[in-house]
Structure 1
Amino acid sequence: MIIRAREKWMGRVILVVLMIVTLVPFVSLFVTALHEPGTYPKGLELPETPHWGNFALAFTSADVGALLWSSVLIELGVVPISVLIATLAGFALGHLKPKASGAVLIVFLLGLTLPFEGIITPLYFQVRELGILNTRWAIILPLIGLFMPFAVMWMRAHFVTMPQDLSEAARMDGATTWQLFWRIHMPLSVPALSSLSILLFLWTWNQFLLAIVLVNDPTKRTMAGALGAFQGQYGTDIPLLCAGSLLILTPTLIVFLIFQRQFVSALMQGSLKG
């Protein structure tokens, strides 16, 4: 009993420490954003007169409304298509298991090892040859391809754990492969689909490198990518830069807080099946 109580106490201490480490950067950004524009705040000291107008100034200066719309368009182009393709491929590799599934799986595993930084130069020339440079498609299409290895492996891991008895029973009742996929496996895949969608949403929203390299117009980038242009304009104005950073982070925090139960449910489901 003493050992269990000690382990429980240590677990709580570790959780509190991790929570503090996670929250300190956000608190630092928020406190710094309240200082007078043009100053260089030191530490986490709150200003005597908080400048709440910094958020409004950062919103108008960075044209956050246009950036928000651009990010939404990019999200709509990346997330649904990526989830659809990954679900179909994951079902094929994890449940149907065709003859060449092993070789295809190796290709996707190799894709997980490719860093964005290592392929950005050839990707730039390829996008330029396609004639979509400085458009939102220059972000959407590469992200779909770059997300595929992880997304397919995520959905494959889910379909591998699905019992074969369900499929065999459905086959005996005359279900086709499409009916097997759509009517039986898809309803059971909602946690995995929702968690994958959340991850892809967060990664797309926070995409910085592809946005600044492949798109020159800040209003056609993601919000995180547009922060580079905002930083160039207000690079020495630390409070405004922190206010702009918080405006960019806010939508992702809201989405995660809304769908955190689905995300945790999918992770717990995978751990229990494993």
Structure 2
Amino acid sequence: MIVSTRERVLGRVLIIVFMLVTIVPFVSLFITALHEPGTYPNGLSLPERPHWENFLLAFQSANMPALLWSSVLIELGVVPIAVLIATLAGFALGHLKPAGGRVVFVVFILGLTLPFEGIIVPLYYQIRDMGLLNTRWAIILPLIGLFMPFAVTWMRAHFINMPNDLSEAARMDGATTWQLFWKIHVPLSLPALSSLSILLFLWTWNQFLLAIVLVDDPTKRTMAGALGAFQGQWGTDIPLLCAGSLLILTPTLIVFLIFQRQFVSALLQGSLKG
């Protein structure tokens, strides 16, 4: 397909516009964080003397080491388990195609329409009755369940496009269902698994609502959830609040930049197969 010069220029202009829309908020946060603590910066003007110590002060005031450790524990509790369950379920629904699989898939699709805000009240009472309030399990267990509709749908979309010839050849060689799954399909699913892991990592790290509703102790929340307590303490100090926000956002940006190739590869793989 031949692309005209006008279409090419228009495409580049749109890319630049979207890039600016994405980058400008981060630039604004960064410039604001360099102003003198306690001031109200006006616009995007750079201060005469950048206050780099704001980042150190925010790091110490928010008790970042404890928050980082709490977020890591929550990530380790959510991401591996959610990916494992979603991979098993996606393989069953997408490749094995058991009886009633379509009904189960429709249930998962309906789960995609369920917002966190709509179930937070009954979830609170359920977690309270289980005696898990103000613990990290109050975040880990609900997130695993709430991520399942998307995660299972994601993995099913991958496995349903896997060629049946591989499975038939493995069956003829005497492979069991578990060997078929673990030795053949899982190695071929690494792009889909890595991209799903990245998404779940980002969503877990940035989880705010469950953290502030189900956990009172900021040191047991996610980094984003702890931002609520930090905002309550430093809400009138805009530069310090911006510095803390950037510190909380930095790990997710680093993870995405490191694994962006795997993420894009999975998306392209899905588009080519679909």
TM-score w.r.t. the length of structure 2 is 0.99
Residue deviations 1:76-134 (CA, integer Å, cap 9, x gap): 00000000000000000000000010111111011111100000000000000000100
Distance in 1 separating the partners of 2:31 and 2:2? 42
Moved more, 27-36 or 10-19: 10-19
Report how far residue 2 of structure 1 moved: 9.2
Distance in 1 separating the partners of 2:179 and 2:189? 14
Letter in 1 for 2:79: V
Unaligned runs of 5+ in 1: none
Residue deviations 1:131-152 (CA, integer Å, cap 9, x gap): 0100000000000000000000
Distance in 1 separating the partners of 2:122 and 2:190? 36
**Superposed counterparts of 1:23-34, under 5 Å:** 23-34=23-34
Letter in 2 for 1:206: N
Local SS of the residue matching 2:174: coil
Unaligned runs of 5+ in 2: none
**Superposed counterparts of 1:124-203, under 5 Å:** 124-203=124-203
TM-score w.r.t. the length of structure 1 is 0.99
Distance in 2 separating the partners of 1:6 and 1:174? 58
Distance 1:259 1:45, change over 3 A: same
Residues 1:231 and 2:231 aligned together: yes
Letter in 1 for 2:100: A
Distance in 1 separating the partners of 2:2 and 2:13? 16
Q: Which residue of 2 aligns with 1:51?
A: 51
Distance 1:35 1:93, change over 3 A: same
Q: Which residue of 2 aligns with 1:81?
A: 81
Residues 1:120 and 2:120 aligned together: yes
Local SS of the residue matching 2:199: helix
Distance in 2 separating the partners of 1:192 and 1:165? 20
Q: Which residue of 2 aligns with 1:67?
A: 67
Report how far residue 206 of structure 1 moved: 0.2
Distance in 2 separating the partners of 1:175 and 1:257? 38
Distance in 2 separating the partners of 1:144 and 1:232? 29
Moved beyond 4 Å, runs of 4+ = none
Letter in 2 for 1:200: L
Report how far residue 3 of structure 1 moved: 5.7
Local SS of the residue matching 1:203: helix
Report how far residue 218 of structure 1 moved: 0.1
Q: Which residue of 2 aligns with 1:246?
A: 246
Letter in 1 for 2:182: W
Local SS of the residue matching 1:66: helix
Letter in 1 for 2:124: Y
Distance in 1 separating the partners of 2:133 and 2:205? 19
Q: Which residue of 2 aligns with 1:4?
A: 4
Report how far residue 259 of structure 1 moved: 0.2
Distance in 1 separating the partners of 2:151 and 2:270? 15
Aligned residue-pair number: 274
Letter in 2 for 1:96: L
Residues 1:268 and 2:256 aligned together: no
Q: Which residue of 2 aligns with 1:102?
A: 102
Distance in 2 separating the partners of 1:91 and 1:169? 17
Distance in 2 separating the partners of 1:219 and 1:3? 54
Letter in 2 for 1:237: D
Report how far residue 8 of structure 1 moved: 1.2
Letter in 2 for 1:106: V
Q: Which residue of 1 aligns with 2:207?
A: 207
Letter in 1 for 2:130: L
Distance in 2 separating the partners of 1:220 and 1:93? 36
Residue deviations 1:156-185 (CA, integer Å, cap 9, x gap): 000010001111111111111001001110
Distance in 2 separating the partners of 1:2 and 1:106? 40
The percentage of aligned residue pairs carrying the same residue is 83
Distance in 1 separating the partners of 2:263 and 2:3? 32
Distance in 1 separating the partners of 2:113 and 2:198? 22
